[in-house]
Amino acid sequence: MINLIKLELFKIVTKPRSYLGFLAITVVVILIQFAFYVDGKQYIEFIFQALQNSFQIEGNILNGSLICFIILQMLIIQMPLLVALVTGDLVSGEAASGTIRLLLSKTYSRGQILWAKFIAGNIYTFALILWLGILALGIGLWVFGTGDLVVLKSDELVILRADDVIWRFLGAFFVAFFSLSVITTFSLMLSCFADNSITPIVASMSVIIIFTIIGTLDVQLFDTIKPALFTTHMIIWRNLFDNPLPTSQIVTSFAILFGHIVLFLSVAFWHFKRKDIQN
Amino acid sequence: MMKYKLFLFLIWCHGMNGSAQTPQELIAKVNKNFNGVKDYSADLMMNFSIPGVNIEPMAGKVFYKQPDKFRVRTKGIVFLPKQNPYYALALLKDTDAYTAVSGGMEEIQAVNCSVINIIPSKENDLILGKFWIDAANGLVIKSQLTTKSNGTVSIENTFGSMRTFALPDKIVFTIDVAKFKVPKAVAVDLNSKSAPKSGGNPKGTGIISLQFSKYVLNKKMTDDVFKD
């Protein structure tokens, strides 16, 4: 099984598109950090202008924690697209290139092969999140320094003390990984149904975009649908920065995301084991 | 008839007793009390109740030096009133800069206080100042300052062990605050939904409470501590 996972990882590593995600993250993070390094004070003044009329605000607001939080807010919405680009190709890519027949002719069962692809896809997702963490939090803290985190919300500011921040970021990265794991599984499932690379990737991206738009629209009609969409629960990483921590909400979202993973994986297994390989 | 006149005289005497000191005398007493403090440092505990801001209490250190240097040092982010707590006392020192008018008596914190209104005689940021002064001890129990730049700020002092130096154990600021709102796109808060807040002070007034302890007085403090 380990060899099979290594083989799947090797396939991911040798594909140029696997590096697009890393490249995109690097460019976006460095751009945001550079923009805040040059112009961050004006951004902070704009946000705090209503409060600065009444109060004198003491302390270093523009610190690495704030920059990392802003990067996460901006980037985590886009990361599912980067993940789907690679994981949507895991099975269908082999079907398209014809290597799936060779793979299935080995001594491994179809179940083992799919498990290996699922694990390899998650390792790739984890590597993306780890890279994001190193760039956003590591370099952010190094360049902008440490300090209390001002959690920006449209109608509220939550100020978390510096010694209460790092574990929340680690938790947020883990939750982000778990959320992206839903995308990994979803695109893997679609990949099992297709015989070309493009369809599952585009289908995954389309579903993510549609669900995100539905989640963003503040329309009553969608209120009943929203709790069932996995994209609604993928943003629970933000709840880790609430004070007090909404534990039950986090646990519920976690359970719903886990349910989605189980559902997508079950469908993927059910179909892949019965799949008629024709090319 | 005689009894009625005597009754009126007693009421007049009682009223005169409460405001026996003129506003100028009361202000001079307050200034004299506070003049004994050239500088001080103290430990500080800050509590906040600001609409739209969820912030936990914060400990710090406070430094003061005559006439108006005031600095709070903390390890984190804090919201402080724009005017330092001694802005009101600094105002009272320049007796030529205002006209003091007596506003009767009021009870604040179970202390019978003389109310003095301060009307600036020169062009000033201050529009009106109102002081509730404990006449017996020469302590400002409460002040309310209406300024052009910051609206109305109310400051309530609670005195304890350092009352002989006119230094409070606790100061509570009540400040008018505009509703905090940031565009969703600026806050990158695209998926949020407005929900009623459970905590904080929803009335549009921010309350900052400063609790002082371990005062150290008149140690000839240098100005370095007030620099950024």
| Best residue in A159, A218, A232 for a mutation probing chain B (most B CBs within 10 Å) | A159
For the stretch B1-57, pLDDT in tens is: 555 555 544 444 444 444 467 888 888 888 887 788 888 999 999 999 988 888 999
Sort out which chain B residues have CB atoms less than 8 A from A50's CB and list them: 178-181
What chain B residue is nearest to A157 in terms of C-alpha separation? B53
A204 pLDDT exceeds 90?
A: no
Q: Which two tokens stand for residue B41?
A: 């440092």
CA distance A87 to B40: 65
Q: Does A213 touch chain B (CB under 8 A)?
A: no
Structure token digits, residue B74: 């903390």
pLDDT one-digit tens code per residue, B119-162: 888 777 888 889 999 888 888 899 998 888 778 889 999 998 88
Q: What is the pLDDT of residue B126?
A: 83
Mean pLDDT of B162-175: 89
Structural tokens at position A213:
């738009």
Q: For the segment B83-128, what is each residue's pLDDT rounded down to a tens digit?
A: 777 777 777 777 788 888 888 888 888 888 889 998 888 777 888 8
- Contact of A156 with chain B, judged by CB distance below 8 Å, is answered with yes
Among candidate residues B33, B25, B223, B177, the one with its CA nearest the CA of residue B116: B25
Q: H or E segment at A187?
A: helix A166-193
- Edge to edge, the sheet with strand B39-49 lists B69-74, B58-65, B39-49, B205-217, B168-176, B151-159, B139-147, B126-134, B111-120, B98-108
Alpha-carbon span A88 to A22, nearest angstrom: 17
C-alpha B226/C-alpha A200 separation (Å) is: 62
pLDDT of residue B193: 58
Q: Contact at 8 Å (CB) between B4 and B107?
A: no
Residue-level pLDDT at B191: 59
Position A149 pLDDT exceeds 80: yes
A182 has pLDDT over 90: yes
- All residues of chain B having their beta carbon less than 8 Å from the beta carbon of residue A60 are 77
Specify the 3-state DSSP secondary structure of A166. helix
A119: helix, strand or coil: helix
- On average, the pLDDT of chain A sits at 88
Who wins on pLDDT, B150 or A180? Answer: A180
pLDDT of A44 strictly over 90: no
pLDDT value of position B8: 47
Residue B113: helix, strand or coil by DSSP?
Answer: strand
pTM for this predicted structure: 0.82
What pLDDT does A90 receive?
84
How many H-runs (helices) and E-runs (strands) does chain A carry? 12, 3
Predicted confidence (pLDDT) per residue in A5-23, tens digit:
888 888 888 888 889 989 9
- Measured between alpha carbons, how far is A20 from B154 in angstroms, rounded to an integer? 58
Residue A261 in this model has a pLDDT that exceeds 70:
yes
CB contact under 8 Å between B78 and A57, yes or no, is: yes
ipTM: 0.74
Local confidence band at B187 (pLDDT 50, 70, 90 cut-offs): low
Distance CA A15, CA A85 (A): 11
Q: Label the pairing between strands B53-55 and A157-160.
A: parallel
Q: How confident is the model at residue B189 (pLDDT cuts 50, 70, 90)?
A: low
